[in-house]
């Protein structure tokens, strides 16, 4: 017997219809390329999203057609998010920090037909123009006058100005009712091993994920919030924030291309932001800026931090110096991305700050909708005892089933192997030890590079730290710590090693400390260990001798 409730497929357009009708006047604020502030609201975003859809309809693009964006976080990008997906096409967000050849590879692999771009990326468009035959139009996110000011446009006849194009479209449109399993957006993984792989989300997964993202123990979004997703819209759809914000009617603030600490701080303050989300490296710089300038946050009360492990010292500084709660979250592109968030439990209500920091340093409790199991190398289920580490497998309605255009079966009895190594404690908190390719295997024991990095970051003179394995004839692998000292400090390798004594087992203390002025960051702001290994290790996996002055 079926229930007798109405059958409405979960479509992304429902978010837009809701937010326009009930929160239409809530602001969307963007910092433009010329640093000016642009203000609009959800009503206008919804109206312009319909214009986008009408423009695409006029070109008669079939549903499922891939439409690319190479753009900063902005109101125009938001219009495209909704206009493209709600009209039945697939939004393909591309990371502009990739090499033009990689971008061109992705656009060809996805068979993108229309390509929207911020004019800062015009040189990329020029480079890829002749190698992307599927693309019919390159639409610059600017006015006609701004387009005219670009160099050499006569040689690129497929160029159009967004404002001219959108203004020629009607804002009248009934959103089509789509099968909720229809593809809505496409995001490629970073491709640190081999070519990038496409993760194809659908309307259903996006809506269900938005519900979860908004829940109190996840980002806890409400109509009273002002949200600044520093995480780029090309990084797993800004972690789903543009959808969750529409679901609850929150105000959104976009920082455009300005991610330096001073600009971010100014925007957080001037727009009275209550919640922001970014990878740890962004917060690292922002916190150090605040501390050197002796500044405070006046409205920010929580930050969602994920993408890589958030060091406890950051969680503690946010909490004790700035009164800001850190919501440490774990997930990945293949998981839309949220899998766990480190919220507290009922029995944690009277804990001290130190105890809270310990809990929030874990990657968190699994959210409803996702299931996790941890298994050993032979596939045996490991107990939730806080110490048995193994491979993390996940399943759920917003977890990948297969990569775009791939026929390879990537699931193991319905479970997706995340490639992460973790344990789960008795209270159900996931604790990520490492990515399987980053874990250091020393004499048959595993050393967590995340643990070593977190400890190193609590040394008063360490600004950034990354731990990698080098080859050792006796132990197979041993840890080497690469450190960027804080400005005007010169920590010695001994003082850093001493810092580990009594905090970890002796054999886990890094043998060598390599000092560097900066660490290579990947396209999404994470430390790029593949690149770091090339910088620090020889082809045989040994530490380059010239980096070890005085330590051999």
Write down the least CB distance from residue 393 to ligand ADP, Å. Answer: 12
Shortest Cβ distance from residue 288 to ligand ADP (Å)?
20
CB of 243 to ligand ADP, least distance (A): 18
d(CA 490, CA 25): 53
Verify binding: residue 308, ligand ADP, rule CB under 6 A. yes
Binding residue (CB under 6 A) for ligand ADP from 306, 343, 369, 491:
306
In whole angstroms, how close is the CB of 192 to ligand ADP at the nearest point? 6
Most distant CA pair in the chain, distance: 77
- Which of these is catalytic: 143, 146, 446, 461? 446
Residues whose CB is less than 8 angstroms from the CB of residue 454 and which lie 6 or more positions away in sequence, other chains included: 309, 311, 312, 313, 361
Residue 117 β-bridge partners: 70, 140
> How far, CA to CA in Å, does 33 sit from each of 95, 121, 132?
17, 12, 26
- Pick the closest to residue 141 from 221, 76, 96 (CA basis): 76
CB 213 within 8 A of CB 244: yes
Using CB under 6 A, pick the residue from 117, 188, 234, 330 that binds ligand ADP: 330
DSSP letters for 309-336 = PPPHHHHHHHHHHH--EEEEEEE-GGGS
| Residue 333 interacts with ligand ADP (CB under 6 A): yes or no | yes
What minimum distance in Å lies between the beta carbon of 390 and ligand ADP?
A: 15
CB of 429 to ligand ADP, least distance (A): 12
d(CA 80, CA 68) in angstroms, rounded, equals: 10
Nearest in space to 537 (alpha carbons), one of 484, 479, 498:
479
* Least Å from the CB of residue 392 to ligand ADP: 8
Burial class (CB in 10 A: 0-12, 13-18, 19+), 373: middle
To the query of whether residue 272 is one of the catalytic residues in this protein, the response is: no
Cα distance between residue 408 and residue 188, in whole Å: 17
95 lies in the site for ligand ADP, by CB under 6 A? no
Q: Binding segment for ligand ADP among 138-146, 248-256, 322-330, 532-540 (CB under 6 A)? A: 322-330
Query: Binding residue for ligand ADP (CB under 6 A) from 221, 366, 432, 543?
Result: 432
Q: Any contact of residue 307 with ligand ADP (CB under 6 A)?
A: yes
CB within 8 Å of 198: residues ≥ 6 apart: 106, 109, 110, 186, 187, 188, 403, 404, 405
507 is catalytic: no
Binding mask 520-539 vs ligand ADP (x if CB under 6 A, - otherwise)?
A: ----x-x-------------
In whole angstroms, how close is the CB of 449 to ligand ADP at the nearest point? Answer: 10
Q: Which is nearer to ligand ADP, 103 or 332 (CB)?
A: 332
Residue 522 has which token pair? 């990947």
Helical (H) or strand (E) element with 247: helix 241-248
> Of 216-224, 369-377, 397-405, 417-425, which segment contacts ligand ADP by CB under 6 A?
417-425
Closer to ligand ADP at the Cβ: 335 or 496?
335
Q: Which stretch binds ligand ADP (CB under 6 A): 51-59, 144-152, 304-312, 403-411?
A: 304-312
Compare residues 135 and 464 and give the one whose CB is closer to ligand ADP. Answer: 464
- Is the previous residue joined to 337 through a cis bond, with omega within 30 degrees of 0? yes
Residue 187 touching ligand ADP (CB under 6 A): no
**Which residues 351-390 are close enough to bind ligand ADP by CB under 6 A?**
363
Residue 111 bears catalytic tag: no
Which of 328, 360, 459, 478 is close enough to bind ligand ADP by CB under 6 A? 328
Cα–Cα distance, 237 to 243 (Å, whole number): 9
Residues in contact with ligand ADP, shown as a per-residue x/- string from 477 to 516 under the rule CB under 6 A:
----------------------------------------
Question: Does residue 441 have an active-site annotation?
Answer: yes
Which among 21, 296, 441, 534 is annotated as catalytic?
441
Rounded (10°) angle between helices 312-322 and 353-361: 140
Q: Which is nearer to ligand ADP, 121 or 330 (CB)?
A: 330
User: What is the rounded distance in angstroms from the CA atom of residue 277 to the CA atom of residue 239?
Assistant: 9
Q: Which of 231, 411, 261, 468 is nearest to 327 (CA)?
A: 231
CB 40 within 8 A of CB 27: yes
Binding site for ligand ADP (CB under 6 A): 189-190, 192, 306-309, 328-330, 332-333, 363, 418-420, 432, 435, 524, 526
- Which residues form the catalytic set? 189, 334, 441, 446
């Amino acid at each position: 017997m079926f229930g007798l409730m109405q059958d409405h497929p979960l479509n992304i357009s429902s978010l837009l219809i809701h937010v326009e009708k009930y929160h239409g006047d809530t602001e969307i604020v963007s910092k433009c390329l010329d640093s000016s502030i642009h203000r609009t609201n959800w009503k206008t975003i919804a109206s312009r999203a319909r214009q986008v859809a009408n423009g695409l309809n006029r070109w008669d693009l079939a549903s499922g057609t891939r439409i690319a964006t190479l753009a900063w976080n902005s109101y125009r990008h938001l219009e495209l998010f909704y206009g493209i997906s709600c009209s039945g096409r697939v939004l393909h967000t591309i990371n502009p920090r990739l090499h033009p050849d990689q971008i061109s590879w992705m656009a060809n692999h996805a068979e993108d037909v229309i390509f929207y771009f911020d004019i800062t990326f015009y040189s990329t468009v020029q480079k890829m123009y002749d190698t992307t035959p599927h693309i019919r139009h390159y639409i610059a996110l600017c006015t006609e006058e701004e387009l005219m000011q670009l160099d050499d446009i006569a040689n690129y006849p497929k160029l159009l100005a967004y404002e001219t194009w959108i203004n020629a479209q009607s804002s009248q449109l009934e959103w089509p009712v789509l099968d909720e399993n229809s593809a809505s957006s496409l995001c490629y993984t970073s491709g640190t091993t081999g070519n990038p792989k496409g993760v194809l989300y659908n309307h259903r997964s996006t809506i269900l994920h938005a519900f979860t993202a908004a829940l109190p123990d996840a980002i806890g979004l409400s109509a009273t919030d002002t949200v600044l997703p520093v995480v780029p819209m090309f990084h797993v759809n800004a972690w789903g924030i543009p959808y969750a914000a529409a679901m609850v009617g929150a105000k959104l603030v976009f920082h455009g291309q300005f991610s330096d600490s001073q600009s971010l701080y100014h925007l957080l303050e001037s727009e009275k932001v209550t919640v922001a989300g970014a990878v740890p490296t962004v917060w690292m710089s922002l916190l150090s800026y605040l501390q050197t300038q002796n500044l405070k946050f006046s409205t920010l009360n929580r930050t969602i931090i994920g993408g890589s492990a958030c060091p406890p010292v950051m969680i503690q500084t946010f909490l004790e110096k700035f009164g800001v709660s850190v919501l440490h979250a774990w997930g990945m592109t293949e998981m839309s991305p949220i899998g766990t968030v480190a919220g507290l439990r009922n029995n944690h209500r009277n804990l001290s700050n130190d105890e809270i920091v310990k809990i929030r340093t874990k990657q968190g409790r699994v959210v409803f909708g996702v299931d996790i199991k941890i298994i050993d190398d032979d596939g045996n289920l490991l107990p939730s005892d806080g110490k048995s580490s193994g491979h993390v497998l996940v399943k759920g309605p917003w977890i990948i089933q297969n990569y775009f255009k791939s026929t390879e079966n990537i699931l193991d009895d319905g479970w997706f192997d995340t490639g992460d190594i973790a344990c789960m404690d008795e209270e159900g908190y996931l604790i990520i030890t490492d990515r399987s390719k980053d874990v250091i295997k020393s004499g048959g024991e595993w050393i967590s590079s995340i643990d070593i990095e977190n400890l190193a970051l609590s040394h008063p003179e360490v600004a950034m730290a990354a731990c990698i394995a080098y080859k050792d004839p006796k132990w197979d692998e041993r840890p080497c710590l690469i450190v960027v000292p804080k400005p005007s400090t010169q920590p010695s390798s001994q003082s850093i090693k001493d810092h580990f004594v009594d905090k970890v087992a002796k054999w886990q203390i890094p043998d060598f400390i390599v000092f560097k002025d900066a660490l290579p960051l990947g396209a999404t702001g994470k430390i790029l260990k593949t690149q770091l290994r090339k910088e620090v290790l020889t082809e045989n996996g040994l530490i380059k001798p010239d980096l070890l002055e005085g330590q051999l």
